Structure 1
């Protein structure tokens, strides 16, 4: 009887882990679809929320033309853009349902004290907040602060679902790693600097500033003369529509330049942290995590350079977004192993 109960418990945990893994997959899909929607200028493909022109799916222009002209006067239905936006919403909705199921499952399994409960329910709260930001993104016509917040929320959900999976699946490092433990602060510093860089990338994307710096490594021979931190952090004036950006050319160029400058700082700090961890740790697990972060960092830098040299193709820009998420998760994974298993 006890063996049967033990087997049942192990099987339930295995299914729960698989569900969390599926949730991780959905979260990175939502990040990618959100980036693709933004990069293809489809963020206002549906001017209302959560439906599209009052329908649960993209309406057929010929069939619903009277309804569209009556309820959304002056709006032109672009079916391709609308479907990009709605597919993103469908995946985001499915992700929200999955996270709720995971949170409820954590409560049921917590009777055995074998799964964390606070993190899944924090994810539920985060999803609700993210849904509110998604609504505001549309209703406030792509206001840059809201767009940046929505992007960061997607990264946060992906990172935390990945962290939840790590907590469920990671095994203690045999004997620990006393050499790596003092380097925990270095990984936290690298994580903070990386988060700032991702936020700057979100600010750049929200203000449509990518194409305003099409040279490398700077934006042109006189770009530094027009660079201004004040221009970078100024809030766009109130507009009825922020699509395609409203800031001046100089402001957007400054935003892009700062993103590049901070990328250099981020690279130096991450490499410094990885070097310290590598020379002080003796666990193969920790060293494997270091190599993962290094590979993700090199890939992200390469994609950033290629993105500029090829004049910002959507495919490379999308890969740059996804690799930023992978780099973030790899740094979180390294920090987690040093904190918990050393």
Structure 2
């Protein structure tokens, strides 16, 4: 009976951790949608909305915050984002409770579980600061990176739980990351941060046209103002505060970052393509990058339509997952000549897990 209970517990842990991965993607996309429809300040306070747990009527909203008129649609979008984010926190707590009895077992990822709790609490704080600091770009960017960190921790927890359920105590040596993997990961983090900086400063269409920007290969730009990280806290940053040349610099920085990331991924793929176990993941990584680059170009040429901007964020999430899974499988590979598996295509980067 104890073994049966433990098996049930493990199945539940595996299921919930995988649900956490999928649900985190949903939370990130709902958060981005909230921002894209300018609903980030739909509720002027936190954690409630005009002092309530649900969106109140106009009269109560006016009594609570007379300087912030109620827009019902935007307020509900903001609250829906908060509801789903809170559900994600409850899921983390459930995983901790279920794993409590297994935390002393060799190989159980208790440290990953605690790290996930810490990051989800920090992410909640960033959510509060996003509202109270009125969409301050630094906080908005960190909020996006925090969401991606939660996603990666859920993924890592799920993979470690699968390893633990298979009887691996973690004593088997894994390969350490080489500098090439580190460079690719660092460039991806920087590009994600740049993407958040573009969005939070409303620089998505600061450059018109591609591959040139406003008809020039190197237009007039204000780099110091565009990347001035000590912006004043206090003004409402809805629709941005920077002038045109600063936004152009941010946009161009994002384009340059995309180019550098693409070069790093091509070099990474060329270096490790001979390894059969890692090859499908590297192919998926390059395919996802190509799709993401295409979405970025389309956003510029089509003037940033809502659905396409949301899809571009989904591409960033997919690229993050692909690199994480490529790293995992590279570290797990034994280095022996392995038989290639047929039918493994680029799309497996999102399907195998």
Alignment of 1:60-209 (within 5 A): 60-61=57-58, 65=59, 67-169=60-162, 184-209=178-203
Q: Which has more helix, going by share of residues?
A: 1
User: Secondary structure in 2 aligned to 1:234?
Assistant: coil
Q: How many residues align?
A: 327
User: Secondary structure in 2 aligned to 1:224?
Assistant: coil
Residues in 1 aligned to 2:176 and 2:241: alpha-carbon distance in whole angstroms: 47
Q: Contact between 1:218 and 1:257, CA under 8 Å: does it hold in 2?
A: no
RMSD: 2.1
The partner residue of 1:328 within 315, 320, 345 is 320
Change (3 A) 1:181 1:276: farther
Q: Contact between 2:17 and 2:157, CA under 8 Å: does it hold in 1?
A: yes
Residues in 1 aligned to 2:192 and 2:28: alpha-carbon distance in whole angstroms: 13
Q: Contact between 1:24 and 1:158, CA under 8 Å: does it hold in 2?
A: yes
Matched, 1:264 2:259: yes
Residues in 2 aligned to 1:11 and 1:341: alpha-carbon distance in whole angstroms: 29
Residues in 1 aligned to 2:62 and 2:260: alpha-carbon distance in whole angstroms: 51
Residues 286-305 of structure 1: CA distance to partner in whole angstroms, max 9, x if unpaired?
A: 12211221221121111111
Residue 339 of structure 1: CA displacement?
2.0
Give the equivalent residue in structure 1 for 2:303: 311
User: Secondary structure in 2 aligned to 1:322?
Assistant: helix
Matched, 1:337 2:336: no
Residue 338 of structure 1: CA displacement?
1.6
Q: Contact between 2:32 and 2:310, CA under 8 Å: does it hold in 1?
A: yes
Matched, 1:292 2:284: yes
User: Secondary structure in 2 aligned to 1:73?
Assistant: coil
Change (3 A) 1:334 1:253: same
Residues in 2 aligned to 1:73 and 1:223: alpha-carbon distance in whole angstroms: 48
Unaligned runs of 5+ in 2: 168-172, 335-353
User: Secondary structure in 2 aligned to 1:59?
Assistant: coil
Moved over 6 A (4+): none
Matched, 1:301 2:313: no
Unaligned runs of 5+ in 1: 173-177
User: Secondary structure in 1 aligned to 2:278?
Assistant: helix
Residue 114 of structure 1: CA displacement?
5.0
Residues 93-136 of structure 1: CA distance to partner in whole angstroms, max 9, x if unpaired?
A: 00011011112222222244353101111111111111111111
Residues in 1 aligned to 2:203 and 2:154: alpha-carbon distance in whole angstroms: 30
Residues in 2 aligned to 1:81 and 1:247: alpha-carbon distance in whole angstroms: 24
Give the equivalent residue in structure 1 for 2:22: 25
TM-score computed with the length of structure 1 as normaliser? 0.90
Residues in 2 aligned to 1:188 and 1:337: alpha-carbon distance in whole angstroms: 15
Residues in 1 aligned to 2:96 and 2:178: alpha-carbon distance in whole angstroms: 29
Q: Contact between 1:190 and 1:269, CA under 8 Å: does it hold in 2?
A: yes
Alignment of 1:207-222 (within 5 A): 207-222=201-216
Asked which structure has the greater RCO (Cα within 8 Å, sep 6+), the reply is: 1
Give the equivalent residue in structure 1 for 2:238: 243
Give the equivalent residue in structure 2 for 1:175: none
